[in-house]
Amino acid sequence: MIDLGLLTTILEQVSLLLIGFSICAALILLLASFTIYASSGGGWVASVSGRILVGGLALLQLAHWLSLTGRIDWVGSPGYVVLLYIVAPAFYLFFRGALQIQAAERSWHLLFYAAALVAAWIDPAIAIPLSFLIGMIFAVHLGFLVLRLRPQRQRFHIEMFALSAFALIALAILLLGVISPFYGLRVFTLGYAGMIGLASMLAIHVLLHFPDIANKTAEAVTTAYAVSTLERVDREQAVTRLRKLMDEQVFVDETLKLSGLASLLDLSPHQLSELINTRFGVGYSRYIREHRVAAAKRMLMAEPDASVLSIGLAVGFTSQSNFYAAFREITGEVPGRYRSQQSADA
pLDDT surpassing 50 at residue 127: yes
pLDDT surpassing 70 at residue 213: no
pLDDT surpassing 50 at residue 175: yes
Tell me what pLDDT residue 221 has.
59
pLDDT surpassing 60 at residue 225: no
Q: Which residues of 200-220 are buried (b: 16+ CB within 10 A; e: fewer)?
A: bebbbebbeebbbbbbbbbbb
Phi, psi of 184 (to 5 degrees): 95, 160
Q: What percent of the chain has pLDDT over 90?
A: 22
pLDDT band at 289 (very low <50, low <70, confident <90, very high): very high
Pick 39 or 92 by higher pLDDT: 92
pLDDT surpassing 60 at residue 116: yes
Cα–Cα distance measured from residue 80 to residue 120, given in angstroms and rounded to the nearest whole number: 8
For residue 294, the Cα-to-chain-centroid distance in whole angstroms is 27
Domain at 4-219: CATH code: 1.20.1070.10
pLDDT surpassing 80 at residue 164: no
Pick 103 or 67 by higher pLDDT: 67
Residue 73 CB contacts under 8 Å (≥ 6 apart), including other chains: 66, 67
Domain ranges in the chain with CATH number 1.20.1070.10: 4-219
Cα–Cα distance measured from residue 20 to residue 299, given in angstroms and rounded to the nearest whole number: 44
Query: Amino acid identity of 200?
Result: S
pLDDT surpassing 80 at residue 108: no
What are the residue ranges of helices labelled H in the chain?
4-34, 43-68, 78-99, 116-119, 124-147, 157-183, 185-209, 213-225, 235-247, 258-264, 269-280, 284-302, 308-314, 320-331, 335-345
Cα–Cα distance measured from residue 289 to residue 317, given in angstroms and rounded to the nearest whole number: 9
Q: What is the pLDDT of residues 263-273, one digit of tens each?
A: 999 888 878 88
Pick 75 or 33 by higher pLDDT: 75
Q: What is the pTM of this model?
A: 0.62
Domain ranges in the chain with CATH number 1.10.10.60: 231-345
Q: What is the pLDDT of residues 61-94, one digit of tens each?
A: 999 999 988 888 888 889 999 999 999 899 888 8
Tell me what pLDDT residue 5 has.
63
Cα–Cα distance measured from residue 164 to residue 141, given in angstroms and rounded to the nearest whole number: 15
CATH architecture of 231-345: Orthogonal Bundle (1.10)
pLDDT band at 279 (very low <50, low <70, confident <90, very high): confident
The mean pLDDT value for 91-108 works out to 67
pLDDT band at 102 (very low <50, low <70, confident <90, very high): very low
Q: What angle do the packed helices 284-302 and 335-345 form, to 10 degrees?
A: 50
Report yes or no: 104 and 77 within 8 Å, Cβ to Cβ: no
Q: Which of 161-170, 183-192, 235-244, 297-306 comes out lowest in average pLDDT?
A: 161-170
C-alpha distances out from residue 128 to 26, 121, 123, 135, 176, Å: 23, 12, 8, 11, 10
C-alpha distances out from residue 27 to 49, 123, 200, Å: 15, 32, 11
Q: What percent of the chain has pLDDT over 70?
A: 77
Residue 183 CB contacts under 8 Å (≥ 6 apart), including other chains: none
Q: Which of 44-58, 133-147, 148-162 comes out lowest in average pLDDT?
A: 148-162
* DSSP of 255-303: T--HHHHHHHTT--HHHHHHHHHHHHSS-HHHHHHHHHHHHHHHHHHH-
